[in-house]
Amino acid sequence: MATYCSTGFRRKILGPNSFESIFNGGQIKIYSGPQPENADAAVTGELLGTITAPGGLRFVRSDHYVTNDPAQQWMLQGSASGEAGWGRLVAPDPDAGGADLLLPRIDFAIGLDGDEPGDFQMLLPTLSLSPTTSIAMSAWWFMLPPF
């Protein structure tokens, strides 16, 4: 699995927009199964949970990457049972998950705590999620992959 940036995100980030202006206020959706071929594609798998924070997720830049705002507590709340396979960061704009070339999105791999962090953009203490899952998120990061 890998990190995929949507066409909509690439168009915005190469223009006058910053990462924060695109994604602050958004959320991360966690799905089962393998990632789609790219972030323009419709979601695959079942929605297992959502990572949110009061007022929506906030990001900060650190050196050459973006990370979660350490002043804000992110929480993963489960909504269905299954094994987490991948995640999609979406902007606060409505995104129903269908194929789209305009919406900013970032798809990424999820691993277990202790896995090699370079292979994953998010590490969880467990990949088994359920409607009762509630996990405080401590770290998330992103840097632009090769296009």
pLDDT digits (tens, 9 = 90+) for 68-99: 999 999 999 999 999 999 999 999 989 999 99
- 108 occurs within a structural domain: yes
Residue 47 lies in a domain: yes
State which H helix or E strand residue 92 sits in.
none
**54 CA to centre of own chain:** 17
Instruction: Count other Cβ atoms within 10 Å, centred on residue 35.
Output: 23
> In this predicted structure, what is the pLDDT of residue 13?
92
Residue 145 included in any domain: no
Helix (H), strand (E) at residue 110: strand 105-112
Is residue 102 included in any domain, yes or no?
Answer: yes
Give the pLDDT of residue 145: 62
The answer to whether 87 and 31 are in contact (CB under 8 A) is yes
147 belongs to a structural domain? no
Per-residue pLDDT at 63: 80
The total domain count for the chain is: 1
What mean pLDDT is predicted for residues 94-119? 89
Residue 115 has a pLDDT of: 79
144 or 75, which is more confident: 75
For residue 133, being part of any structural domain is answered with yes
Token match 């704009």: residue? 93
Domain contains 146: no
Q: Which domain holds residue 55?
A: 4-138
In a domain, 143, yes or no: no
> How far is residue 80's CA from residue 83's CA, in Å, rounded to a whole number?
10
User: Which percentage of the chain shows pLDDT scores above 90?
Assistant: 72
What sign does the CA torsion over 112, 29, 89, 54 have?
negative
